[in-house]
Amino acid sequence: MNMNGLAKHYDRLTPRERFPLILAAGLRGDQAEHARLIRSAPSKSFSVPNFRGLAEAFERLSSLILMSRLELALLYNQISALLRNEMLAKQGAKDDLDLFNGLRMVAYRFLVRGRAWKELYAEGQIDAEALLKDLPGYDLVKLMEPEAGMVAFTPEEASDFMRKTAGESANVETVAETVAALREFLDYRAQSWT
């Protein structure tokens, strides 16, 4: 099949036809085809308020934070179940301690991401809860917070745990580093609109 001849008709593709082709080209690493499909799409012009990019960035970031915390909550529950099973089976104390330390690390990461998210939104004078409270999974995250707070490592304990399990050069996630990464994501997404 002559791809160049076919490419001449790309401007006639509907959005529903074009989007799967763009995804497929990207997944197979065909940057030329990916770019050609994007370039050939008819353009539409819209007028949006100047804060639209920032608003979209905050909405996207809120969803990503919620998903990452849900993932950690699920991991926490899986480790909790393993720990309960280990204790019921009366396995060795070392196995129980390893699982419990893993549980504490997951709880620490869960709390760090929540604190970082709230801190970043407070910088922008935005109610962090407002963008999440109506999303699926939000109530589960809120239920997880008190338990994680009781179990989580302190920052110092998390650093010690990481050094012992992953080596001296291991770095533990901190609130400040996470805020910086979230701010970078937010700025990048907002800049894409300007």
Nearest-angstrom CA–CA distance, 83 and 98? 9
Q: How many CB atoms lie within 10 A of CB 98?
A: 14
The yes-or-no verdict on residue 25 having pLDDT over 70 is yes
In sequence order, the 6+-apart residues with CB closer than 8 A to the CB of 147 are 107
Token match 């997944």: residue? Answer: 27
Selection from 125, 112, 126, 117 nearest residue 66 by Cα: 117
Contact 148, 107 (CB under 8 A): yes
Average pLDDT, the chain: 88
CA dihedral 141, 147, 151, 154 (to 10 degrees): 60
The angle formed by the CA atoms of residues 88, 89 and 93, to the nearest 5 degrees, is 90
pLDDT tens by residue, 41-80: 988 888 888 888 888 999 999 999 999 999 999 999 999 8
Nearest-angstrom CA–CA distance, 41 and 14? 9
Q: Tell me the CA distances in angstroms from 8 to 30, 38, 136, one per residue in order.
A: 18, 13, 43
Contact 102, 164 (CB under 8 A): no
pLDDT, mean of residues 137-157: 94
Contact 128, 60 (CB under 8 A): no
Q: What is the pTM of this model?
A: 0.79
Q: Based on C-alpha coordinates, what's the Rg of the chain? A: 23
pLDDT, mean of residues 91-112: 83
pLDDT, mean of residues 105-133: 93
Domain boundary assignment for the chain: 3-39, 52-191
